[in-house]
Each structure stands twice: as C-alpha cells, then as structure tokens.
Structure 1
Amino acid sequence: MKKLALSLLVVSGLFSSAAFADLNYGLEVGVRSQSGDTDAVGGSTDSQTAMQFGIFGIMPISGPWNLRTGLLYTQRPLIEKVGGVENKIDMNYVDIPVNIMYKFEEYAGVYLGVNLAMNMDKKCGAANCTIGDVASPLIPLTVGASFKFAPNLGLNVYFESAGGKVAVTNNHDLKNYRAVGANLLVTFD
C-alpha cells in the first residue's frame, strides 16, 4: 500500500505543476498479450491475455519532443508448464511510464522509454505452487505509438520487454517477460 501511495503522490505532483500548463492527459484501458520464459528443465510457458488501465499525461519538452508518463495498473500473468503440471502465475503491478515521445502531429507520435513497475500482488494457481523473489521494481523497456482517430478518442499500441529474472516459482526462474498491447485512449485536452 505504501508503494501505491508513493506512486500516486509522484504522479499527482507531476500533473498538478503549473509549469505543465500545456499538459495533454486522459484515461487509457486495453488488453495485452503477456509472454515469458522459464529455466525449468523440460518446462515451457504459455502466453496470457491481460488488462492494463490508468491515467496518462503528455508534457511538452521542446518542439515535437514530449515526456509521456502516467499511472497504470498492469497485469502480467503467465502459465508455466513443468513435468505435466500447469501453474497459472498472476503478478499485478502499478506502472509509472517514463517515455520520451516524438509527436509528428498534434494527434500522433511515437515513444521510447521504460516503465517503473512496482509489484502489488502475486499468486500461483496450483496447490503446490510457490512464488517469490518477484522483481520490484521491474523496469521493462517500452516502445510504442499513439494517435487520435477522433477529437477525444485515440489508440496506444506498444511492445514491452523486461529481460532477466522476473520471479521464482517452485525453484524455477521466470524470465524475459514480453508483451504487446493496445489501449483505447480517452483524452481531456
């Protein structure tokens, strides 16, 4: 809970600053396809569909360059199969994106950066499944594009990659998480 409170404080401080009078902001909600790897001998993973939602803001830096940030609730589930046993792993994070965005037009741009992802909860679906050593903060690299197709509606598409160990389940490392996603944007600029 302390992590969530700190995240809200940081983001609200960014959004309320008088220096960012030209801030474009809104809500986003969408789906993502999450995948990853396991180092278990004979193990494999299956990707899962998850949700992401929250608020975003785009603050001008200079000319077409902008800072894209926000506060997002992100699900990062995965199914791990080891020795005929299937474990559904659920890890949920609060993400603070820190992306540099280049706007081609007022309604379209591309961005690159990281998400500062703090783990909020974790669980395993199988009875004998244990999960621990969860990466928090997790800092995935993100590349994406967003555009408006109506005055207050748009779309954000992205690819996210978190290399290295993300968690340990039953003494097996889950690693190299990747996701592709699409979020509907409702803007208030």
Structure 2
Amino acid sequence: MKKLALSVLLTFGLISSAALADADYGLEVGVRSQSGDADGTGSTTTSKTAIQFGGIVHYPISGGWYIRSGMLYTQRPLVVKTGGSTVDNKVSMNYLDVPVAVMYKFEDYAGIFGGVSLGMNLDKSCDAPNCVVTDVKTPILPFIFGASFKFAPQLGATIYFESYGDTVAKSPPDNLKNYRAVGANLLITF
C-alpha cells in the first residue's frame, strides 16, 4: 500500500513539474462593477465599483486547453437602502478567490474561459449607524465566464462576468443575494 501511495505521489509530482514548466504566469489588477439584490420589503440596492488583484496561472492540459487558476483579492461591495429608510448603507465584503476554470486558447494571444471561483470571506463591514453584517456565507462558489487577450507580448487584459445566485450575507432586515459582477483586469504575463 505504501508503494502504491508513493508511486501515485511521484507520478503526480512529475506531471505537476512538467505542467508547471509549460504554465503561463501573470499578475492581474482591475476594476469590477458589483451588483446584487436585497429581499427586504421595499429595499433597493445600488451597484458599486470595486477592485480585484492577484496572480493567475494557466496550466496546459492538451493542445489549446488549459486550467486557469490563481489567487485573487476581490472586493464585493453593495449599497443597500432598506425599505422606509433614507440612509444608504454601504456593505463591504472582501474575499480571497481561487478561480478554477477551463480555458481554451485560440492562440497564445487570445482565449476564453468558464468555471467557478472559490471565494473565502476575509472581512465584512457596513458604514450605516447600528448596522451589522451577519451570516456571511463562506466559502461561496460563483460562476465565472470571460476572455483573456494580449495586445503586446507580456501585456494584455481579462474581461469577465461573475454570478452567484444564493444568499451571500444578511444585513438585517435584508438578505443580500444574487451577486453579479462584470470586470476588466490588466494582465501582465511572465
């Protein structure tokens, strides 16, 4: 049994080191427009601009197919106006995202991807008086779809759409849910 486990680990190690040698690495930094819904009676939401940054890697699978992964710091803010109130409450939630997507590269300079992003909540806050954010769901698993392209050998952009249809948190009396975002990141590859 020990020999089988050792063989599997060595094989995985050799495959991983070969894939890492052919992998594309990059840094992304950009902005996103975050929106969502509040289900309180008469409650409304307003989208907010946020930032996203971190490292991305494309692991080759076969031909033009890759696994797109990495680690990204992602802001997911939302302005909530509870029914009957005139106060705008900015609810801020920040996440460490680990995207796992399948990417098809048409060529070295362009590709499309789709998958999920494992989002782990780092912190939460709200700026209205007597406001609390409770029951933050972590991790969340939003769907992501997008495209990456280069306009210079080591410089490019990533555009994406992200959607998470479940409840994300509560800011009593509202449940915050149906988070969506569109974003554009500058991509610097190595």
TM-score normalised by length of structure 1: 0.90
Unaligned runs of 5+ in 1: 1-13
Equivalent in the alignment of 1:33 = 33
Cα offset, 1:170, TM superposition: 1.4
> Which of 120, 123, 132 is the equivalent residue of 1:121?
123
Cα offset, 1:77, TM superposition: 0.3
User: Are the counterparts in 1 of residues 54 and 72 from structure 2 also a CA contact under 8 Å?
Assistant: yes
Identity of aligned residues (%): 60
> Which of structures 1 and 2 has the bigger CA Rg?
2
Distance in 1, matches of 2:24 and 2:63, equals 15
Letter in 2 for 1:57: V
TM-score normalised by length of structure 2: 0.89
Matched, 1:166 2:172: no
Residue by residue over 1:94-148, the C-alpha shift from the partner in whole angstroms, topping out at 9 and shown as x without a partner, is 0000000011111100000000000000001111111011111011000000000
Equivalent in the alignment of 2:74 = 74
Equivalent in the alignment of 2:56 = 56
> Which of 130, 135, 141 is the equivalent residue of 2:132?
130
SS in 2 for 1:85: coil
Distance in 2, matches of 1:154 and 1:114, equals 22
Equivalent in the alignment of 2:113 = 111
Count of matched residue positions in the alignment of Structure 1 and Structure 2? 173
The runs of 4+ residues in structure 1 deviating greater than 2 Å are: none
Cα offset, 1:171, TM superposition: 2.8
Equivalent in the alignment of 2:154 = 152
User: Are the counterparts in 1 of residues 43 and 174 from structure 2 also a CA contact under 8 Å?
Assistant: no
Distance in 1, matches of 2:172 and 2:133, equals 7
